[in-house]
Amino acid sequence: MELVEIKRDLFTMPDEYCLAHCISADAKMGAGIAVLFRKKFKLSSLQEKALRNELEVGKCYKVDRIINLITKSKYWHKPTYETLTAAVSSMKEICISESISKLAMPEIGCGLDKLQWGRVKEILKEEFKQLPIEIIVCRL
């Protein structure tokens, strides 16, 4: 596993990268970088699943090349390191089952959700340590 932090707009990453971000189980995506994901990509299937209460905290859901980590139940809640770890573990399983070798993401859980990047980075390193995967963390 290789984790690299760069200064770059996440949405300019090449198409071979899956893009990961955190959302709530209600799939509101009304603030932060989730708004940009909602506008740039067709994530209506997630919103439909949310209406049917089918999105589970601690899981992630892939829509095209977007990996949506569900880290809290409602948009106004805050995730915990436990829910983030569970969602990252779910993301790892998707990467294994779909042979994904390139991920790009913001500092997940650290913007409006207020988690500390140092701890989140260690969670990513621990979960992905045995996988041949490149993770690019983009920040502006």
Catalytic residues: 72, 113
Q: How many CB atoms lie within 10 A of CB 17?
A: 19
* Helix pair angle (81-97, 117-128), 10° resolution: 30
Q: How many CB atoms lie within 10 A of CB 106?
A: 20
Region at 108 (left for phi over 0; alpha for psi -120 to 50; beta for the rest): beta
- CB-based contacts of 50, cutoff 8 Å, min separation 6: 25, 26, 27
